[in-house]
Structure 1
Amino acid sequence: MDVTDLVGDAIQTYGYWALGLFLIVLAPEALMPFAGFLAHEGMLGLWWAVLAGSLGGTLGSTLIYLVARRVGEARVRVMLRRRGRWLLVRESDLDGVLATYGRHGTWIVAGGRLIPTVRSLVSIPAGLLPMPLARFVGLTFLGTFAWNTVLALTGYALGAKWSLLEPYLGFYGSLVFVLVLVIVVIFVARRLGESWRDGDG
């Protein structure tokens, strides 16, 4: 029996509590279609499952936000001044990220919940800014609830064939990861080029 089977058995046995707890740390793409299938079979209530999964996902994101808020912008700036050269990140980069959040934070926090990889990252600048906690939690819950609803309804509609969704979700997650990786590689390459030019000068 693999981890997926153990998680599935736990959800079938303990219901909403297990679903919510697992989604603190696991991606909703891995569990919400299965929760929709369980709702189709009458083992869970569809909307209670969506609510439980959304509360779990919101809690997980909020924990990341609180860690970032605890660290604080001032400490991050000190670290960037001291070691930013080695991290290939400048204090001006932080300024740009925080400025973007200041203008578009509402859409980034809510919309980022629909995107694998990104959903874990958006909590960090929101905590550093910091975005007010109540606003962050509210936006995170709304975005998470919307995405979980799509996943659960799809699993519910597919019924016993819910696993057919996995390849598409896997491709979606992999595509996003590759795009993020490409962006990171381009950023690092450009920053290294700038460092070498500065060194030559």
Structure 2
Amino acid sequence: MTLVETAVDAVERLGYWGLGVSMLVVAPEVLMPFAGFLAHQGILHLLGVILAGSVGGTLGSTVLYLIARHVGELRVRRFFQRRGRFMLLKESDLDVVLDVYERHGDWLVMGGRFVPTVRSLVSLPAGLLPMPFGRFLLFTFAGTTLWCAVLGISGYLLGAQWEMLEPWLGVYGTTAVSLVLLSVAVFVLYRLKEVVYERG
């Protein structure tokens, strides 16, 4: 049984608790439409589904934030200084990320909840900065709740046809991840060009 199948089974058997715990490790795009369908069936309540999913998703993001906060900026900065060049990273790259977070961190933390892969990554600079814990929780919970509501309500409205969302969410997720990978590829090519130019 896969992780997703286990999570779906947990939601069916344990309801809100199963949904909340599963959302620590499983993407909302996978579980929330199904949970919305269960609400349509009267097995769960839609508001409870959104709340359970939001709490679980927020806790999962908070774990990453706390890990980054424990590691701390100083250790990461030392890593960039000593080994960053092997990953084509400079200490100035860290400065840029932290500077962007100081100016726009609230909206990045909130908006990042809508994008697969990014939703995990945005917690790390927030923890390194560190963004105040209360503010991080507020914007993470707000973004997570909004996205869980969209997915849960969609599953609720579609009822037995909730699986129709899967292809659309698949395209959405693939597009979002592809844009992230494209950005990484552009950065790597730019940095390789810099390295070649510096050597000569």
In structure 2, the CA distance between the partners of 1:73 and 1:140, relative to structure 1 (3 Å rule), is same
Report the equivalent of 1:178.
178
Q: 1:187 maps to which residue?
A: 187
Aligned partner of 1:17 in structure 2 is 17
Q: CA deviation at 1:197?
A: 1.1
The answer as to 2:44 corresponding to 1:30 is no
Equivalenced residues, count: 200
Q: Distance in 2 between matches of 1:37 and 1:96?
A: 43
Q: Say yes or no: does 1:150 pair with 2:150.
A: yes
How big is each residue's C-alpha offset from its partner over 1:48-76, in whole Å with a ceiling of 9 and x where there is no partner?
A: 11101110000000000011011110111
Normalised to the residue count of structure 2, the TM-score between the two structures is 0.97
Taking structure 1 as reference, are residues 4 and 61 closer, same or farther at Cα in structure 2, changes over 3 Å only? closer
User: What is the SS of the residue equivalent to 1:172?
Assistant: helix
Mapping for residues 59-70 of structure 1, pairs under 5 Å: 59-70=59-70
Letter aligned with residue 41 of structure 1: Q
Distance in 1 (alpha carbons) for counterparts of 2:162 and 2:34? 7
**C-alpha deviation, 1:3, in angstroms:** 4.7
Looking at structure 2, the residues matched to 136 and 2 of structure 1 have their Cα atoms a distance apart, in angstroms, of 32
What is the root-mean-square deviation in Å for CA atoms of aligned residues?
Answer: 1.0
Residue aligning to 2:121: 121
Deviation of 1:190 (Å): 0.8
| Structure 2: distance between partners of 1:8 and 1:104 | 36
| 1:71-112 C-alpha deviation (Å, 9 max, x unpaired) | 110111111111111111111111111110111111111111
Alignment of 1:88-167 (within 5 A): 88-167=88-167
Structure 1 unaligned spans of 5+: none
SS at match of 1:44: coil
In the TM superposition, residue 171 of structure 1 has moved relative to its aligned partner by 0.5
1:160-197 CA distance string (max 9 Å, x none)? 00000000001100001111111101101110111111
Question: CA separation in 2, counterparts of 1:184 and 1:177?
Answer: 11
Q: Distance in 1 between the 2:191 and 2:163 partners?
A: 42
Identical positions, percent? 57
Q: Does structure 1 retain, via aligned residues, the 8 Å contact 2:65–2:126? A: yes
Amino acid paired to 1:146: L
What TM-score comes out, normalization by structure 1 length?
A: 0.97
The 3-state SS of whatever aligns with 1:93 is helix
Residue pair 2:80, 2:91 contacting (<8 A) in 1 also: yes
Structure 2: distance between partners of 1:94 and 1:4: 34
| 1:6 Cα deviation from its structure 2 partner | 3.4
- CA shift for structure 1 position 199: 1.2
Task: Say which SS state the counterpart of residue 180 (structure 1) adopts.
Answer: helix
Mapped to 1, the partners of 2:88 and 2:58 lie a distance apart of: 31
Aligned mates of 2:3, 2:95 — CA distance in 1: 41
| Runs of 4+ residues over 3 Å off in structure 1 | 1-6
- Give 1:2 shift: 5.3
> Which letter does structure 1 place at the counterpart of 2:144?
T
